[in-house]
Structure 1
Amino acid sequence: MRKVYLGNHQIISPLGFSSKENIDAVKQGKSAMQNYTSPIIGAYIAGKILEKNLQEHFKPLAKNEAYTKLEKMMILAVAEVLQSHQEIKKEKIAFIIATTKGNIDALAEENPFSKKRAKLSQLAKTLQQYFGFSTPPILVSNACISGGLAVSVAKKLIQNKTYDHAVVVGGDLVSEFTLTGFHSFQALAKNICQPFSKERTGINIGEAAAAVWVTSVKPKEKPIQIIGEATANDANHISGPSRTGEGLFLSVEKALQEANILTSEIDYISAHGTATLFNDEMESIAFHRLGLQNTPLNSFKAYYGHTLGASALLELIFSHVSLQENMVFKSLGYTSQGTSKTLNMITKTAHQPLQIALKTASGFGGCNFAILLKKETE
């Protein structure tokens, strides 16, 4: 089977407008969370990109007023990734977009753009035209596993030799629509979220765009291969996860089968870790069922908030970085065990030998996703 690798990447977030800025911020333990007020739900905490900063970085690329906030974020991320591969013809590159709500802010009365801009197909068309791709992008919108699932689609297209390369981008916004939805569930935290911790009270919402190069060509430096991935739906509830972790369990189990490795070979887990009572409990049960309770594990939600369709992709990039740098990042916000099953939480950013990493994600509708990365050594 054709090997598939992760290549260069770019993260656009409140913590920075490049992967390097974001990695440095996380190493320093910085959180993007700030206090805001909504006329509908009142005070809340979220991670937002300042419009003036976004406009400043976007100005060299095109007119700010021609593109929505999300489009500018995604264009910035993809432009940087493609910059390193200018010699490759666009028809050789699959373009895959992951999002849950897209330009949802276009539906607001005060928004200057047409409400048609809120259609995901319109978002895809806008990005296609900007970058000059000859074929329409592939849209992946499957709740909070969208970013990871988009990488899975890229991997399969490359393995099947439909394409040699792919650029995958994921992005979502902090919007009144999303905030009021989670507020109605009483799931918004009143402070910076605390994944897997006893004191956790719910999630923070964040916004970000992340892009990554997926390729059949082995990178010259520190190659990271995708060795297995899978998705499974537990069909438990429209918003509540399975109490037994069945969907997540099956996803990881299938990914392990494809990779032909044992759970004991996994050195690190980047969990979904939303800091809601039911999600974190479900994950702890699934990881115990898999025999992964002693594997070092973290969540990035206290750094970025839950960035929805971008979250799995953004956090996969950090898994990539962890393997390349032999570094695990502190699970920000964790203080004490808050799940019925114990987990080996990472409480300090530190260097340690890593060979294989597992990234998982779960979302509304019972969807679950797992992907395994391996560092190739010379």
Structure 2
Amino acid sequence: MPPIAIRAFSATTALGHGVEAQAGALAARRGGLRRNDFGPSPLPTWIGRVDGIEDTPLPEALAAWECRNNRLAWLALQQDGLREALEAAVSRHGADRVALVVGTSTSSIGASEEGYARATVDAQGQPCFPPDLQRPMVHTLHSLGDFLQHATGVRGPCMTVATACSSSAKVFAQAARLIHAGVVDAALVGGVDTLCGSVLFGFNALGLVSAEPCRPFDASRDGLSLGEAGGFAVLERAAPDEDGLQLRGYGESSDAHHMSAPHPEGLGATLAMRDALARAGIDPGAVGYLNLHGTSTPANDAIEARAVAALFPDSLHASSTKGWTGHTLGAAGIVESVFALIALRDGLLPGTLNSATPDPACGPQIRFDHVQRPTAWAMNNSFGFGGNNCSLVFGKGGAA
């Protein structure tokens, strides 16, 4: 596919605000997980919580969208020159030629939970949300996209993708199609998800949450650690022979095997990875780093590792970075794409934090230790509930 230039990119996670906070924590093997301190009755687990959200209210002009999720979106948008890159794209192409495509899984459901918890009775004796939460848009999945449209002034197509944990990986594919079709010339893509009771207790009810920090691909792994995060990238049609970081391929599939479990043979994951490589025009052996979905649940990791071993040579360096941030759900795609871009930029191929004993069922591609070496190609896998899968290939301009 024609390359898409990445003009700016950023992530805000439990590791800190912005790309350098992420890169520094990865290099130092300094994780961001803490004992759960979220909510009135914290579940006994570990979480990746972003500091500073409580101290960052939205500007008065955007107060109608006030909620934890949109606060994190606003905080993440201020990092790493994102707004300046977006303003430059608008100046070049016009606001109506710049798309906004963002992903989330729960959006601002935390505000809805608060509305139910603080429900009152109206003059007719009917239960209702308190006045400060009677803002209908905040209680929809499109809360994030609508907020960002008003916050940025972008006037092109505006979409909120909600495909569980693949959400903010699929935004890259959606934006690439819009650009390649000539609908727009640039796009702001990204994703935001924040901690809330529905996420913590819902995943726990499914038996997927560990009481300890997650250990992806470890022989004794027993579940995931949940986190929150936000991140964005500014994409634009690349000029011929342009240098710099680029989106070079994407692959999407839906194996629809089960509501929450992946296909036992990894068919959907394999389809997504093969399609991403095909669009990039490269063989599996060209990939230097693969950021795995790697949630630390027993079934997910084993199935993904099996699919990777069947497709890639033993030389691949593949790892999960969820031991640093927790599983950030609808924001995982953008966060882990940023980690893949850091690998391309800095040559830091991260290992897998907290894990010590490799699962013998996993292939040699799964690495626990860092490696420092330049690479021309990096990938990211993001797989969601219902078998909704997305793989992305990133490269450097001029890479062959």
TM-score by length of 1: 0.92
Distance 1:354 1:183, change over 3 A: same
Gaps of 5+ in 2: 119-129
Equivalent residue for 1:190, pick from 202, 211, 215: 211
State whether structure 2 residue 93 is matched by structure 1 residue 77.
Answer: no
User: In structure 2, what is the equivalent of residue 353 of structure 1?
Assistant: 374
**How far off is 1:66 after superposition?**
5.9
One of 90, 95, 99 as aligned partner of 2:100? 95
Q: Give 3-state SS (helix, strand or coil) of 1:281's partner.
A: helix
> Given that residues 90 and 133 in structure 1 are in contact (C-alpha distance below 8 angstroms), is that contact kept between their aligned partners in structure 2?
yes
Aligned to 1:114: 134
Q: Is the 8 Å Cα contact of residues 229 and 328 (structure 2) preserved in structure 1?
A: yes
* Contact 2:161–2:171, Cα closer than 8 Å, also in 1: yes
Deviation at 1:55, TM superposition (A): 4.8
CA contact (8 A) 1:229 1:255 kept: yes
The CA deviation at 1:215 is 1.2
Q: Equivalents in 1 of 2:77, 2:36: separation in Å? A: 29
Q: CA deviation at 1:133?
A: 2.6
Q: Residue 188 of structure 1: SS of its match in structure 2?
A: coil
The answer for the alignment partner of 2:281 in structure 1 is 260
> Structure 1: where are the runs of 5+ without partners?
none
Task: Say yes or no: does 1:341 pair with 2:359.
Answer: no
- Mapped pair 1:209 → 2:230: yes
State the Cα distance separating 1:258 from its structure 2 match. 1.8
Q: Aligned partner of 1:195: which letter?
A: P
The answer for the alignment partner of 1:322 in structure 2 is 343
* Partner Cα distance (1:302, 1:114) in 2: 38
Given residue 225 of structure 1, which amino acid in structure 2 is its aligned partner?
Q
Q: How does 1:201-350 map to 2 (within 5 A)?
A: 201-217=222-238, 223-338=244-359, 340-350=361-371
C-alpha contact (below 8 Å) 1:280/1:339 kept by paired residues? no
Give the drift of 1:85: 3.9
SS of 2:192's equivalent? strand
- Contact 2:53–2:75 (Cα < 8 Å) also in 1: no
CA distance in 2 between partners of 1:40 and 1:149 (Å):
34
Specify the code of the residue in structure 1 equivalent to 2:103.
Answer: A
Matched length: 376
Segment drifting more, 256-265 vs 37-46: 37-46
Q: Give SS of 1:182's match.
A: helix
Farther-moved stretch of structure 1 (258-267 vs 340-349): 340-349
CA positional deviation for 1:101:
0.7
- Alpha-carbon deviation of 1:348? 2.9
2:193 equivalent in structure 1:
172
Structure 1 position 181 matched with structure 2 position 224: no
Aligned to 1:34: 34
Q: Aligned pair 1:366/2:367, yes or no? A: no
Deviation at 1:49, TM superposition (A): 2.0
Shift in Å, 1:218: 5.1
Counterpart residue number, 2:174:
153
Secondary structure, aligned partner of 2:16? coil
C-alpha change, 1:366 and 1:342, in structure 2 (3 Å) is same
Residues 219 and 74 (structure 1 numbering): CA distance in 2 closer, same or farther, change over 3 Å?
farther
Identity, % of aligned positions: 24
2:213, 2:225 within 8 Å by CA — same for their partners in 1? yes
Partner SS for 2:354: coil
The 1-side partners of 2:343 and 2:99 are apart by: 26
Deviations 1:307-340 (A, max 9, x none): 0011011100111111111221121122122251
- Relative to structure 1, is the Cα distance of residues 56 and 183 closer, same or farther in structure 2, using a 3 angstrom cutoff? closer
Take 1:339 and 1:363, find their aligned partners in 2: how far apart are those partners?
Answer: 25
The 1:220–1:206 alpha-carbon spacing in structure 2 relative to 1, beyond 3 Å, is farther
Q: CA 1:349/1:218 → structure 2, altered by over 3 Å: closer, same or farther?
A: farther
Report the Cα distance in structure 2 between the residues aligned to 1:372 and 1:350, rounded to whole angstroms.
Answer: 20
What does the per-residue CA deviation read over 1:236-269, in whole Å, with 9 as the maximum and x for residues that have no partner? 1111111101000111111222222211111111
Confirm or deny: 8 A CA contact 2:216 2:297 kept in the other structure.
yes
Q: In 1, Cα distance between the equivalents of 2:57 and 2:111? A: 19
Alignment CA distance shift 1:376-1:75 (3 Å): same
Distance (Å, rounded) in 1 between the aligned partners of 2:357 and 2:235:
37
1:170-201 CA-to-partner distances (Å, cap 9, x unmatched) read: 01011110111111122111111000111211
Q: Write out aligned runs for 1:2-21 (5 A).
A: 2-21=2-21
| Aligned-residue CA RMSD (Å) | 2.4
Distance across 1 between alignment mates of 2:107 and 2:295: 21
The answer as to whether partners of 1:168 and 1:213 remain within 8 angstroms in 2 is yes
Within 1, Cα distance between the matches of 2:293 and 2:383? 7
Q: How far apart are the structure 2 equivalents of 1:22 and 1:279? A: 25
Residues 106 and 375 (structure 1 numbering): CA distance in 2 closer, same or farther, change over 3 Å? same
> SS of the residue aligned with 1:213?
strand
Q: Decide which moves more: 284-293 or 328-337.
A: 284-293
In structure 1, how many angstroms separate the alpha carbons of the residues matched to 2:259 and 2:224? 18
> 1:281 is aligned with what amino acid?
A
Question: How far off its partner does 1:125 sit?
Answer: 2.2
Q: Which residue of 2 aligns with 1:141?
A: 162
Q: In terms of mean alpha carbon deviation, does 295-304 or 28-37 score higher?
A: 28-37
Cα distance in 2 between the residues matched to 1:158 and 1:102 = 26
How far 1:227 moved relative to its partner? 2.0
Q: 1:2 to 1:347 in 2, by over 3 A?
A: closer
Contact 2:305 2:366 in 1 (8 A): no
More displaced 10-residue stretch of structure 1: 39-48 or 125-134: 39-48
2:102–2:191 contact (8 Å) kept in structure 1:
yes
